[in-house]
Structure 1
């Protein structure tokens, strides 16, 4: 009787499976037991690699980052504005590639040092443009946190498909509930539609503000 050799279980394989399952069940439905079932192993086998779900989320965020930067090269001729724009557009696109992607990424601690190369390069570019190191760090992290928060809200606006009633319309429901508050009701179109445009406008506001604050063109 032939035997089939299983692919060895390691951190990367567990994280890859978890990311695939994330798109199906969302963060709340992602359990170590469900991941183990996908891998056809017993749940205790995962504890050899991850002590708890938080440790797994850290590895998932790291894998998301690896995929985001794979095959991309930083342009040494970027201005500091171009670098912040490119980095955060790329981050948003990467987070939107996963259900609850921003929630997974938020608060996670990278398990490797892959992020350090791009961070080093960006901080070097900003300081060469006239930022002090503290200013460069503040500019970089402020725009990063804007992107993370924006995508968290963007992904949380609509109920997931499996929780959405037939014919559900967010704007209609919101207008009905806020009928007594006409400005707040009308603001819904600005808050909850055309996310691409709103992200770009917010990003431009932040970057312009950084330039004014630090006196940099």
Structure 2
């Protein structure tokens, strides 16, 4: 009888990443541990080292897995709005990865492809090499901020902590005097939750695109 291959060789890398990404989407990045992933496959954590030497390598792979969802197959015709909208879609689908994108995006092939596309479009718009590089960073950070600093989302993984922070913010805003703070009391609800998510992201994208326009 042919010997059964070791567990590490039986694991499919793409499937492991899909499970890890699902954990991140559901429970946040802190929940993504080699032990938890291994348990999902009924193997020991050591089996995962065949594919990822440590958690740092796993996080790089997760970022690449998410960025692979950006379809640039028609990149020759894509404009700046199309590309940053595609990036935003990935960030919204996988918000747990948003904060680690800046440091890891250039460590992945998919991230290099996205960065090349973004900088190229900014160069085509007339920006200098330095300005295009800097603007690409501003745009990425702006997109991340739209997702991770969305009103009503304090940016912490723990649900109870999130609710505590939001409750404290609500109490503070609702206690303000309308006479002393007429504008904040009028708009307090908008700082606590989104009245229109579609409009929020539409305005955010428009703001970023207008800021990326070359100076006359």
> TM-score per shorter chain, which class?
0.7 to 0.9
Residues 100 and 155, structure 1, Cα contact 8 Å, conserved in 2: no
Residue in 1 aligned with 2:134? 138
Q: Which residue of the other structure, out of 14, 17, 36, is the alignment partner of 1:15?
A: 17
Q: Which residue of the other structure, out of 198, 201, 209, is the alignment partner of 2:200?
A: 198
- Per-residue displacement from partner, 1:169-189 (whole Å, max 9, x unpaired)? x98874434333254454443
- Per-residue displacement from partner, 1:105-141 (whole Å, max 9, x unpaired)? 3532455423333433443333233211111112222
Q: Which residue of the other structure, out of 194, 207, 210, is the alignment partner of 2:209?
A: 207
Residue in 1 aligned with 2:34? 32
CA distance in 1: counterparts of 2:74 and 2:144, whole angstroms: 22
Distance 1:106 1:151, change over 3 A: farther
Length-normalised TM-score, structure 1 = 0.74
- Per-residue displacement from partner, 1:32-83 (whole Å, max 9, x unpaired)? 10001112210122223323322211110100001222x742253x5xxxx3
SS at match of 1:211: coil
Length-normalised TM-score, structure 2 = 0.74
Residues 19 and 37, structure 2, Cα contact 8 Å, conserved in 1: yes
CA distance in 2: counterparts of 1:162 and 1:175, whole angstroms: 18
SS at match of 2:213: helix
Aligned runs of 1:13-162 on 2, under 5 Å? 13-69=15-71, 72-76=73-77, 83-98=79-94, 100-109=96-105, 111-154=107-150, 157=153
Q: Which residue of the other structure, out of 171, 178, 183, is the alignment partner of 1:176?
A: 171
Residues 33 and 55, structure 2, Cα contact 8 Å, conserved in 1: yes
CA distance in 1: counterparts of 2:84 and 2:63, whole angstroms: 16
User: What is the root-mean-square deviation of aligned Cα atoms in Å?
Assistant: 3.6
SS at match of 1:68: coil
Query: For this pair of structures, how many residues does the alignment match?
Result: 206
CA distance in 2: counterparts of 1:175 and 1:63, whole angstroms: 37
SS at match of 1:147: helix
